[in-house]
A and B are shown apart, each in its own frame.
Chain A
Amino acid sequence: MPEIRVTPLGAGQDVGRSCILVSIGGKNVMLDCGMHMGFNDDRRFPDFSYITRNGRLTDFLDCVIISHFHLDHCGALPYFSEMVGYDGPIYMTHPTQAICPILLEDYRKIAVDKKGEANFFTSQMIKDCMKKVVAVHLHQTVQVDDELEIKAYYAGHVLGAAMFQIKVGSESVVYTGDYNMTPDRHLGAAWIDKCRPNLLITESTYATTIRDSKRCRERDFLKKVHEAVERGGKVLIPVFALGRAQELCILLETFWERMNLKAPIYFSTGLTEKANHYYKLFITWTNQKIRKTFVQRNMFEFKHIKAFDRAFADNPGPMVVFATPGMLHAGQSLQIFRKWAGNEKNMVIMPGYCVQGTVGHKILSGQRKLEMEGRQVLEVKMQVEYMSFSAHADAKGIMQLVGQAEPESVLLVHGEAKKMEFLKQKIEQEFRVSCYMPANGETVTLPTSPSIPVGISLGLLKREMAQGLLPDAKKPRLLHGTLIMKDSNFRLVSSEQALKELGLAEHQLRFTCRVHLHDPRKEQETAVRVYSHLKSVLKEHCVQHLPDGSVTVESILIQAAAHSEDPGTKVLLVSWTYQDEELGSHLTSLLKKGLPQAAS
C-alpha cells in the first residue's frame, strides 16, 4: 500500500526548531532545519540521529527545503550539513539564500563570541553550507530528480518566505512554512492555487486567534509616534533587525512623506544596512504598492530614515530611533533607553513579544523603577507602549488557506498542542478531512491511492473513437486492448500489436453453448424462427440467415439441430469468440428465455 509518512523532528506541537521529515513515493525530504530559541544545550538543534545513527545523511535524504530565513527555520543548517554531514541539494528562494547567511553569522557570533560556546559551527561552515544551496523562483517547478519535483508559492510573512509543494507522481504534499494571509505594508498575502495535495502541512501559531484589522494597530502606532514627536519627545522603537523593522520603517517613512514631517528618523546600523540592501533588490517579493511604485522610487530607499550614530542620542529636539535588539536586553537599544527613560516627553514602543526577565518585559508589565547593574536604580518616566505586529496567519487565515488548496488531509505543526486541538477539530468539522498533529518524533502514516498513468497507443484510441460516440463521463465504456507492463511503465495497446511486440502467436478462444428449445418443427423452420426473433430483438446488430441454415449475429454462429433423443426438442448451438463475450452471453440468456409463441 503506498503511503506518505511524516515525522516532525521539531515544531511538532511546539514552536521552534522546525524540522519535518516527509517520505513520499519512496523519496525522503526534510522540510526546514531550524534551531530552538528556548534551549542552549543539544536540544536547540533537531535530533538528526533519528535519520541515521552513523553514516552520512546524504544517502537517506533526497533534498532539504528551507521555507524562510528565520533562525527557527534555518538555524541548524550549517550544523546539519557540515557537522553531521549532508551533501545533497538544499532548496530555498533567492531572498532567503541572500539573507540567511547574514543571520546565521550573527547567530554564530552571539553564541561563540558572546557566550563563548565551543563546538559550534564556524564562519567557513556557513559558507560551505551555502554553497550547497539551490535557489528557486516562485512558481518554478524544480525537478530534484526524475520523479521528485518541488514548486514554491508566495507566503508573505517575511521577505522571501515561501510555501513548497513536493510532488512525486500524482502524490503531493504542501508545506506552508510560516505564512500570512493578510498583507502588510511591505509584503503581500500568501497565495496558493487549488493544487489538491494529499497532505497540507501548515503552521498553526495563531490557531485560536482571530485578529482585528491591521489598520487600527497601524493607526494607533502612527498616532502615538506623531503625538510624541509633535510635543518634542524622542521615540525609541526597539526592533530585531529583519522583518518587522522594515515594515515599521515603511510605515513611518510613508507617514512622514504624507504629513510632511521634519523630525529625523534613525536606524541603528549594522546588520540592518545589509538587510535593507536586499529588500531593495528583491522588489518582486514585496506587495503591490511597492512593486508598482519602485520605478519612480524604491520604497526601501528611505528618504527620511538615516543611519544612527551614538552621538545623536543626545541631540536636542524630537527624533525617532529604531534600535536593536528588540527586547531591550542588551546593546544599543538598552543604551538609548537608559538615556531617555527619565523624560516623560519621550516614548518607547515595543512592537513585539518580550521574553520574561528582559527589560522590555519588565517595563511592559508596568514596572517603573528598574534596577540596573551596579545597583543603579533607573526611574522610567517615559511613556511605554505596546503594539503587536505579527505576521502569522490567524485561525481564519489558516482555514482560508486550507480552503484554497483543498487538501485530502491536514497536518498541523508550529503551534501549541492545546491550540492545535481546537483547530484540528474545526478543520475536521468544516472541511471533513482528516487532520493530524504529531508530537516531535511521532510518525504519521497516511495511506494514499495514487492513480497510475497508463499510456494508450494512438492506433487503439483512434479505432475506438471511430467506433462509437464521444467519451461520456457518466457512462463506463468497454475497450479491448492489452496492458503491457514493461520497465515500470504501463501501456495499453491493441492485442495484435501486443502479439507482434511480444512475438507470440494468437490463440483463438471460443465459447460454445447449447440451448434446448421445445419446438416440434423442423430444424430449418426453427432456424427461421430464431432468425426472425433475433432480428426483431437485436435491432442494432447485424443478424443474418445463412443459406446453410445457420444464423449469425455479427460473428456469433447459431446452429439448430434436432435432439438425438427427443425429436420435440431442438438444440441450438451458440458459438462465439472470446472478444464477443459480452454479446455472446447476452444472446444465450436471450435464447434461454425461449422463443415467443408464434401464431401457428
Chain B
Amino acid sequence: MNCMHLTDTSHGVRNKCLQLLGNLGSLEKSVTKDGEGLAVRDVQKIIGDYFSDQDPRVRTAAIKAMLQLHERGLKLHQTIYNQACKLLSDDYEQVRSAAVQLIWVVSQLYPESIVPIPSSNEEIRLVDDAFGKICHMVSDGSWVVRVQAAKLLGSMEQVSSHFLEQTLDKKLMSDLRRKRTAHERAKELYSSGEFSSGRKWGDDAPKEEIDTGAVNLIESGACGAFVHGLEDEMYEVRIAAVEALCMLAQSSPSFAEKCLDFLVDMFNDEIEEVRLQSIHTMRKISNNITLREDQLDTVLAVLEDSSRDIREALHELLCCTNVSTKEGIHLALVELLKNLTKYPTDRDSIWKCLKFLGSRHPTLVLPLVPELLSTHPFFDTAEPDMDDPAYIAVLVLIFNAAKTCPTMPALFSDHTFRHYAYLRDSLSHLVPALRLPGRKLVSSAVSANITPHEDPSHQFLQQSLERVYSLQHLDPQGTQELLELTIRDLQRLGELQSELAGVADFSATYLRCQLLLIKALQEKLWNVAAPLYLKQSDLASAAAKQIMEETYKMEFMYSGVENKQVVIIHHMRLQAKALQLIVTARTTRGVDPLFGMCEKFLQEVDFFQRCFIADLPHLQDSFVDKLLDLMPRLMTSKPVEVVKIVQTMLRQSTFLHLPLPEQIHKASATIIEPAGESDNPLRFTSGLVVALDVDATLEHVQDPQSIVKVQVLYPDGQAQMIHPKPADFRNPGPGRHRLITQVYLSHTAWTEPCQVEVRLLLAYNSNSRIPKSPWIEGGEVSSQVETSIEGTIPFSKSVKVYIMPKPARR
C-alpha cells in the first residue's frame, strides 16, 4: 500500500495517494473476503485521518477518495458522519462542498440511526440531522457550496415532514413580535372570503409577543432554507433550489401544497431560465396540488410574458392544473383569450390547453356555459363568427367539458350544434365525440375505459393484418390485390385514428415492402432462362432500392420498435439485398463483379445470423432460415450457382408475420417557422451569410440532439446539412421536442430570387443498434461507427424560403 507516501511533505503526493486509495481501496475486499475486512476498515480510517490535514487540497482529496470508495460499493462507516460534520465549517469552499456531499451520502446510508443533538439530551434521526446541516449550508458564503447543498436537499426524501416543512418557514418577526408572512395573510384573506381591500398601512402589523429566550436565530436547523435559496443572488442557486423543491414536492403531497406559494413567486424571477424552470416544476407536481384563486391570478399574469417559451410552458402547466372554483376557470379562460389576442401565434397551444382545462373540470364549466356562449333564455342571440379563434377556444373548452357532463348539451343553441359538427371535422384532435340528443352516436363514442383490444378500430387493424398473413397459397394476382387493399385500409385508418396511426403506418410500410417484393419477383425477366444482360430490370432494381429505404424508415423513424420487429425488418432488408444481387447478376455481363457482390451478400447473411442468433428459431421457413441451411454449400459454390440458389429460395420464401409492438409512434416534425409564405425574398450579399430562424416541433424522436439535422437544398441541387446545437432542443413534454435554431445560408450571387428548401432529417446508423461483438475484426470500424451517419430520412415537409443573394457592391 502507499501509506508511506501519505506522509510526504508535498500536498501533490498526498493528494494522488488518496486518489489512489479511493480507486483501489475496495478492490482488496472483492478479491479476498473475510480476512481482508479489517484492511478495508483501515482504508476508511486511513483516509479519515487526512480529513484534518493541514492542506485544504489534501482534505478535499480525502473526502473525494471517501466518496469514490462509496461509489465503488464500499459501505462507509457511520463514524465518518461526525468527522464530516466538522468539515462543514472548514475555511475552504472545496472542502465544504465535498463535505456536504459526504454527509449526504452517509445520511442515505444510515437514515434511521439516531444521533444526539449537542448541548441537549435529545436525539434525532441521522437523516433529519443531516438535512438540518445541509439546509444550513444553503446560506453558506460560497455560492458553489450553496448550489451543491440546494441540489442535494432535493434527494433527501426520507426526511421527516416537520423538518421538511420548516424549510419554508422563516419564523418571521418584527420588533420581537411574531409576524405572519404575506403568504399566510393571502391564504387567510382567501379563506375568510373577502378580497384584498387594498393594503392598509400596518396591515402586516405584528401580532403576538415573542419570548426573547425562545427565539433561536441561527441553529434553527432547516428553518427557511428554501426561502433563502429561492432568493439567492446567483441564479444557479435559485435553479438548484427550485429543482430540489420539485423533487421533494413530488414525494410529499403536503409539502407540495406548502411550497406552492414559493413556486408561484418564482414566476416573477428576473432570469428567464429560473421562471421557466419553476413553471416546469409546477407542472410536474401539479397532480398533488390545487391552485387557490389568488395563486391562479399570479400564475395567469405570466401569460402576458413576451417570451414564447414561458407562455407555452405555462399553457402546459394549465393543461394539468386543478382549479378549485368556477371563477378560477373563468379567470383562466379570460386570461387565455387575452393572451390569444396579444399573441395570435399561440393559437394552437391555447386551444390545446383549453381542451384539457375543459375535460378536467366539467362541473366547474357547466354553470359558466350560458355566459360563455352568451345565450339568453328568451331571445336568440347573434351567431358568432365561426372563424374567430377566440370563439373556437371557448367552444373547445365547452365541448371537452361536455364529454363527461351529459347535461351540458341541453344548454347549447342550434348554431352551437352546427359549429360542433364543423369543429369535430376540422379540429378532430381538439373536439371529442359527444353524445348529442337526437343524433346517432357519432362514431360510436369511444370512451376511455375500453381497452385497446376491444376497440373496434384496433380489431379491424388486427383482422386485416391477419387476413394478409393467412394468404400463403393464393395466386399472385390475388395476393397483390389484397395487399394493395389492405395497405389502403391501413393508411386510411391511420388518418382517422390518431392513436393507431403509428401501428397502422408501420404495418402498411411492411406490407408495401412485401408487395414490392412480390411484384419484382413476378416480372417476366425471371421467366427467361438465360441471363439477359439488358437494362430491362428497372422495376426490379427500383423495387429493391425502395424496399431498402422503407426498411430503414421502419427501423429508425418509429419509437417503440422492439427487437422482434427489428429482426423482421432486417430480414426484409436482406431479401431486398438478395433481390439486388440477382438483378445485377442477370443484367451485368461477366463474372468478376459478381464475385465481390456474392461475397458481400454472404457476409451480410453471416452478419444477420450473428446479430439475431437468439431470434432465429422464430424465423422458421423463412428466406434466411433456408439460406442458412444451405450456407456451407453456398460458401463453396461459384457465384453463378449462388445466384441461382438465392433466386429459387427468394421465390419460395414465405411471408413473415410482423408482430405488432405495444407502443409505436412515428417520428414526425412540423416546421412552424419559416412559414414559407413570404413573397419578399430574404436579401443578403453573396458570399456572406444570412441567419434563418427555424422553429419546429418534433414528435416521438428519441435523442433528437444527436440525430435530428436540418437540410437546406439550393436550387442548383447543392444540399447542405446543418447539425443544430444540443442546446437548441427543448423538451416541453414527454415524447415532444422543440427545435429552435438558426440556420446560416450562403451562396454566390443570383440574378433573381429563388427558393431554397428547408427540411428536417433523421440521421441513422444501422451499426449503432447492433451490440458490439468480438467478431468485428480489427478496431478500425469501431470508433467511427458510433458517430458516423450512414444515411438520412427526411421526416418533415420541406418548406420553401425565398432568398436572394445579391452581388457584393464594390
Hey, which bits of chain A sit against chain B, CB under 8 A?
A: 182-183, 185, 188-189, 191-194, 208-220, 222-223, 226, 254, 257-260, 287-289, 364-366, 383-387, 395-396, 399-400, 403-404, 419, 422, 425-426, 430, 470, 473
Contact = CB atoms under 8 A, between A and B. Distances in A.
Given A183-B231, A208-B173, A419-B175, A222 B268 contact: yes
A259 B217 contact: no
B182 A403 contact: no
Given A219-B268, A260-B342, A404-B141, A183 B232 contact: yes
Contacts of A400: 139, 218
A217 B217 contact: no
Contacts of B215: 426
A404 B89 CA distance: 10
Contacts of A254: 270
A240 B470 CA distance: 88
B91 to A, nearest CB: 5
Interface string B217-257: 11100001001001111110000000000000000000000
Interface string B194-232: 000011110000000000100111110000100100111
Given A183-B231, A422-B176, A426-B217, A216 B183 contact: yes
Contact of B199 (A191, A219, A288, A385): A385
Given A213-B230, A219-B268, A289-B270, A399 B304 contact: no
The list of the 10 closest CB pairs from A to B, nearest first, reads: A183-B233, A216-B182, A215-B265, A364-B201, A259-B304, A208-B176, A386-B201, A188-B233, A404-B141, A399-B217
Contacts of A188: 233
A260 B139 CA distance: 35
Nearest to B227: A213
A392 B638 CA distance: 93
Given A193-B141, A209-B175, A215 B231 contact: yes
30 contacts: A183-B232, A185-B270, A189-B233, A194-B141, A208-B174, A208-B176, A210-B217, A212-B182, A213-B227, A213-B265, A215-B230, A216-B183, A223-B298, A254-B270, A257-B306, A258-B306, A259-B306, A260-B342, A288-B233, A289-B235, A289-B271, A365-B201, A383-B198, A386-B199, A386-B201, A387-B199, A396-B224, A404-B141, A425-B212, A430-B218
Contacts, number: 121
Interface in B2-29: 7, 9
Nearest to A387: B199
B181 interface: yes
> Among the interface residues A193, A259, A365, A404, which one has the most CB atoms of the partner chain B within 10 A?
A259
Given A215-B231, A385-B198, A191 B304 contact: no
Contacts of A209: 173-175
B664 to A, nearest CB: 42
Contact of A211 (B172, B183, B230): B172
A422 B212 CA distance: 7
Contacts of A260: 304, 306, 342
B173 A212 contact: no
A191 B306 contact: no
The size bracket of the interface on B is 35 or more
Nearest to A398: B217
B79 interface: no
A578 to B, nearest CB: 33
A366 B198 CA distance: 12
Given A215-B268, A219-B298, A395-B173, 8 more contacts: A208-B174, A210-B174, A211-B170, A258-B305, A260-B304, A287-B233, A288-B234, A473-B54
A438 B306 CA distance: 54
Contacts of A218: 268
A516 to B, nearest CB: 46
B262 interface: yes
A70 to B, nearest CB: 22
Contacts of B216: 430
Nearest to B236: A288
A499 B232 CA distance: 62
Contacts of B175: 208-209, 419
B212 A216 contact: no
Contacts of A470: 7, 9
B266 interface: yes
Interface in B388-403: none
Interface string B145-187: 0000000000000000000000000111111100101110000
Nearest to B275: A258
Contacts of B9: 470
Given A217-B182, A260-B342, A223 B201 contact: no
A465 to B, nearest CB: 10
B231 A213 contact: yes
A302 to B, nearest CB: 15
Nearest to B234: A288
Contacts of B181: 212-213, 216
A212 B170 contact: yes
Contact of A194 (B91, B171, B174, B231): B91
Given A183-B232, A395-B217, A430-B217, A210 B199 contact: no
A550 B7 CA distance: 42
A188 B179 CA distance: 26
Contacts of A220: 182, 199
Nearest to B174: A209
A259 B310 CA distance: 11
A217 B231 CA distance: 12
A266 B216 CA distance: 45
Given A210-B170, A212-B181, A215-B266, A182 B218 contact: no
A222 B304 CA distance: 13
A426 B218 CA distance: 9
Which one of B54, B270, B304 has the highest number of Cβ atoms from chain A below 10 Å of its Cβ? Answer: B270
A400 B201 CA distance: 30
Contacts of A387: 199
B170 A182 contact: no
Given A208-B173, A209-B175, A182 B201 contact: no
Contacts of A194: 91, 141
A257 B272 CA distance: 12
B720 interface: no
Contacts of B139: 400
Contacts of A217: 182
A422 B219 CA distance: 16
B301 interface: yes
A444 to B, nearest CB: 23
A257 B219 CA distance: 41
B219 A430 contact: yes
Nearest to B224: A396
Given A191-B141, A364-B201, A216 B234 contact: no
B663 interface: no
A371 B181 CA distance: 36
B706 interface: no
Nearest to B265: A215
Contacts of A182: 231
Contacts of A211: 170, 172
A384 B307 CA distance: 32
Contacts of B234: 288
Interface string B336-351: 0000001000000000
A77 to B, nearest CB: 31
Contacts of A473: 54
A220 B181 CA distance: 13
Nearest to A289: B270
A222 B179 CA distance: 23
B317 to A, nearest CB: 17
A403 B141 CA distance: 9
A366 B301 CA distance: 30
Nearest to B140: A404
Contacts of A384: 198, 201
Contacts of B266: 215
Contacts of A383: 198
Contacts of B91: 194
